[in-house]
Amino acid sequence: MSHSTAPSLRTVTLDDVRGARKTLSGVARCTAMEGSRHLSRTVGAPVHLKCENLQRTGSFKLRGAYVRIAGLSPGERAAGVVAASAGNHAQGVALASRLLGVRSTVFMPKGAPLPKVSATREYGAEVRLHGQVVDETLAAAREYAHETGAVFIHPFDHPDVIAGQGTVGLEILEQCPEVRTVVVGVGGGGLAAGVAVAVKALRPDVRIVGVQAAGAAAYPPSLAAGRPVPVDNPVTMADGIRVGQPGEVPFGIVDELVDEVCTVTEDELSAALLLCLERAKLVVEPAGASPVAALLSRPGAFEGPVVAVLSGGNVDPVLMERVLRHGMAAQGRYLAVRLRLADRPGALASLLGALSVADANVLDVSHVRTDPRLGLTEAEVELHLETRGPAHCAEVEQALREAGHTVLD
């Protein structure tokens, strides 16, 4: 990576991360490190998954939030805390506050997944919905802090938060001492910065690769400019890394210590989430699957052993269903097809018979007989099919045509 010539903004040290680990003793879990045979074959080297999706509250965010709140003075604790988050930081702040006996108010975007909103409330926080993206929600939380005196707990732009997230890096080195590359998702940059501080201090030879969703990738242009710059209207299903501008503190660390920041597409995120579920038996949200997406999209670019950090597992079931279908479609394992057929008895049975011969599994059938676009003796059918891959999709469409059915574009 081409680093800027600006003076270092690094304000977090290895000692800070080690101190954070002591603070987190008995609070945060040392999460499992699981090997992945499938990813290892794909990359051509051992790949291990650091399962922060199995952390308390379902993500790494508890680490940084607890360290930050634990460091407050008695007066600051009495004033309460306020945070802004799409969900994972919200839950981390809510649980950390409850454990430390501090009142918490959390602002969340209006489109935040309902399970994350509900969980935040259940952990004891007062939840207020405001704005469409995290940056708007952040502004509202800051205003609340100014008006009430509550301490603002930033999701990524504070040394204590970064030190807490850095404890993930210490665990990686202990669980996989031979690691050569660490791949981690990047939103505001707190996790990547913390991991980089810990890993580079102890193993400067280890390569750190950050991953952003292509539709919300603020770091590449910021690194090129040598300062944090915003991206307009960040759009991605990976709400955990949908951040419009890097934080000042993590940016300085990422610029100095992270070797590369790459991007992945929505299709690649979908395929990665599907792989985690099918092959690793792990429920991972899109942001948490971003390192796996990078491994799948550029398998030859990572020296092994590789550790991919699965940063969170808090995924809305509705989004999960949509993403899984999208992931299957991207792999050619899900086919949606529209057909025109004669509106006569037995026509639909004949169609389904042709699909049975083609060995396609029918997931859903929509049969329309009354529509201005249709002739008096016509019907239209939309089918959602499960297939074995792109070649099988082509075979299914060919079988339908050979059976005399008109396949529409």
Quick one: how far is CA 401 from the chain centroid? 40
Over the Cα atoms of the chain, what is R_g? 24
408: β partners:
338
* Residue type at position 310: L
For 237-287, strand residue ranges (E) read 260-264
Structure tokens at 323: 């993403």
Residue with tokens 């550029």: 298
Residue with tokens 């081409």: 2
Contact (CB, 8 A) for 334 and 384:
yes
For 290-333, strand residue ranges (E) read 306-310
Residue with tokens 């479609």: 329
Distance CA 286, CA 237 (A): 7
Q: Is 44 helix (H, G, I), strand (E, B) or coil?
A: coil
Residue 123 CB partners (closer than 8 Å, separation 6+)? 57, 91, 94, 95, 98
DSSP state, 407?
Answer: E
DSSP state, 180?
Answer: -
* Residue type at position 398: Q
* Of 36, 50, 59, 61, catalytic: 61
Distance CA 290, CA 326 (A): 15
Distance CA 188, CA 181 (A): 21
Quick one: how far is CA 178 from the chain centroid? 26
Burial (CB < 10 A; 0-12, 13-18, 19+), residue 263, is: buried
Q: Is 346 helix (H, G, I), strand (E, B) or coil?
A: coil
> Percentage helix, strand, coil, to 5, in the chain?
50, 20, 35
Contact (CB, 8 A) for 324 and 353:
no
Known catalytic residue: 311? yes
Known catalytic residue: 110? no
Residues marked active site are found at 61, 311
